[in-house]
Amino acid sequence: MIIVAIDGHSSCGKSTMAKWLARKVGYIYVDTGAMYRTVTLFAIRNGFITPDARIDEEGLKKALNDVEIGFQLDPNTKLPLACLNGEVVEKEIRGMEVSGLVSPIAALPFVREKLTAQQKAMGEKKGIVMDGRDIGTAVFPQAELKVFVTASAEVRAKRRFLELQEKGEKNLNYDEILKNVQERDYIDSHREMNPLRQAEDAVVLDNSNLTIDEQNQLLLKMFEERKG
Ligand code: DC
């Protein structure tokens, strides 16, 4: 068994392909973005972050010691659902409120330390597909397969728009979503601790012009080559 690390920009389809591969080959799937989103939801609910992104770092740091960020398997789909202290929060963490505040929370070193340690432990037995921003560089620098996924900001904003529309989110504005995608790209790539960057030994997969099936097949081919 191997470790598959999938990194890339927001809304570039990482999770879709990571989930697909994990199911196809019977590996565990971990969406690390969901973990940062869950911490963000916790911070919002408890007043540690304001709508204009002012953060009470001291308060959040202390409170996080007693917070459990994890996953539960959906009995029907068998896919992991994000949990905050045992409560399934999958729907809450995907909305615009959390999306708008997650990057500054994910830039906090104490948040990254907590979640990175947890992610490393999840991969101890290998047989895992993990997606995020720093998986191939910081969480599993030893991963046998590293993929860096990308697509243009416009293509990604369009996909995100359709995804939110499908989920029934109202009052969607494409320009606002594009701005959110670009802002997140900037913060994720410029933060001090473990910024988004391509690992030297990662394979780049630009899926701007690929269908989901085409990208899945490419990923499977890479997996077959690396799994030994
Ligand atoms: O993949 P996503 O859009 O759900 O990620 C949400 C945010 O979390 C994104 O702004 C970057 C951050 N993130 C991170 O910093 N490190 C990771 N390994 C995963 C996500």
The pLDDT tens digits of the residues spanning 92-105 come to 999 889 988 999 99
- Proportion of the chain above pLDDT 90, given as a percent: 73
Q: Which amino acid is at 68?
A: E
pLDDT for 145-195, tens place per residue? 999 998 999 999 998 899 888 888 888 999 999 998 899 888 888 888 888
Q: Is the CB of 36 under 6 A from ligand 1?
A: yes
Identify whether the C-beta of residue 24 lies closer than 8 Å to the C-beta of residue 215. no
Threshold 0.95, pTM exceeds: no
Ligand 1 center to residue 7 CA distance, Å? 10
Q: Is the CB of 13 under 6 A from ligand 1?
A: no
In the predicted model, is pLDDT for residue 213 greater than 90?
Answer: yes
The per-residue pLDDT for 164 is 87
Identify whether the C-beta of residue 111 lies closer than 8 Å to the C-beta of residue 62. no
pLDDT for 125-144, tens place per residue? 999 999 999 999 999 999 99
pLDDT for 36-49, tens place per residue? 999 999 999 999 99
Q: Is the CB of 207 under 6 A from ligand 1?
A: no
Pairing relation of β-strands 80-84 and 69-73? Answer: antiparallel
The per-residue pLDDT for 197 is 85
Q: Is the CB of 7 under 6 A from ligand 1?
A: no
213 burial level (CB within 10 Å; 0-12, 13-18, 19+): exposed
Q: How far is CA 89 from CA 41, 43, 118, 145, in A?
A: 9, 13, 19, 30
In the predicted model, is pLDDT for residue 228 greater than 80?
Answer: no
* Minimum CA distance residue for ligand 1 atom 18: 132
Q: Is the CB of 32 under 6 A from ligand 1?
A: yes
* Minimum CA distance residue for ligand 1 atom 20: 33
In the predicted model, is pLDDT for residue 14 greater than 80?
Answer: yes
Q: Greater confidence, 82 or 228? A: 82
| Paired strand residues for 72 | 81
Ligand 1 center to residue 28 CA distance, Å? 19
The per-residue pLDDT for 191 is 83
* Minimum CA distance residue for ligand 1 atom 14: 133
The per-residue pLDDT for 96 is 84
* CA atoms of 17 and 114, how far apart (whole Å): 26
